[in-house]
Chain A
Amino acid sequence: MKNQNINTEQDYKYGFTTDIENIRAPKGLSEKTIKFISKIKKEPKWMLDWRLKAFNRLKNLKEPNWQKPKYPKINYQDLYYYSAPKSASEKPKSLDEVDPKLIETYKKLGIPLQEQKKLSGIAVDAVFDSVSVATTFKDELTKKGIIFCSISEAIREHPDLVKKYLGSVIPLTDHYFATLNSAVFTDGSFVYIPPKVRCPMELSTYFRINASETGQFERTLIIADKGSYVSYLEGCTAPMRDENQLHAANVELIALDDAEIKYSTVQNWYPGDKNGVGGIYNFVTKRGACRGKNSKISWTQVETGSAITWKYPSCILQGDNSVGEFYSIAITNNHQKADTGTKMIHLGKNTKSKIISKGISAGKADNTYRGLVDIGKKALNSRNYTQCDSLLMGNKCGAHTVPYIKNKNSSSVVEHEATTSKINEEQLFYCNQRGLNQEEAIGLIVNGFCKEVLQQLPMEFAVEAQKLVGISLEGSVG
Chain B
Amino acid sequence: MSMATAIPQPAERENYLNKEYGVWSWLLTTDHKRIALLYLISITFFFFIGGFFALLIRLELLTPAGDLVQADTYNKLFTMHGMVMIFFFLIPSIPAVLGNFLVPLMIGAKDLAFPRINLLSWYLYIIGGVMMLHCMLTGGVDTGWTFYAPFSTSFTNTKIVEAGLAIFVAGFSSILTGLNFVVTIHRMRAPGMTWSRLPLFIWAHYATSIIQLLGTPVVAVTIVLVAAERALHLGIFDPKLGGDPLLFQHLFWFYSHPAVYIMILPSMGVVTEIIACFSRKRIFGYHFVAFSSIAIAVFGFLVWAHHMFVAGISVYSALVFSFLSYAVALPSAIKVFNWTATLYKGSIHYDAPMLYAFGFLGLFTIGGLTGLFLSALGINVHVTDTYFVVAHFHYIMVGGAVMGYLGGMHFWWPKISGRLYPEGWARLAALIVFIGFNLTFFPQFVLGYMGMPRRYYDYSHMPEFQVLNVLSTAGATVLGVGYLLPMVYFLWSMRYGKPASDNPWNAAGLEWKTASPPPTFNFDEEPVVTWEAYNYEELDAPHSEEVPVAR
Please determine whether chains A and B interact with each other in the same assembly.
Answer: no
- Which A residues contact B (CB, under 8 angstroms)? none
- Which B residues contact A (CB, under 8 angstroms)? none
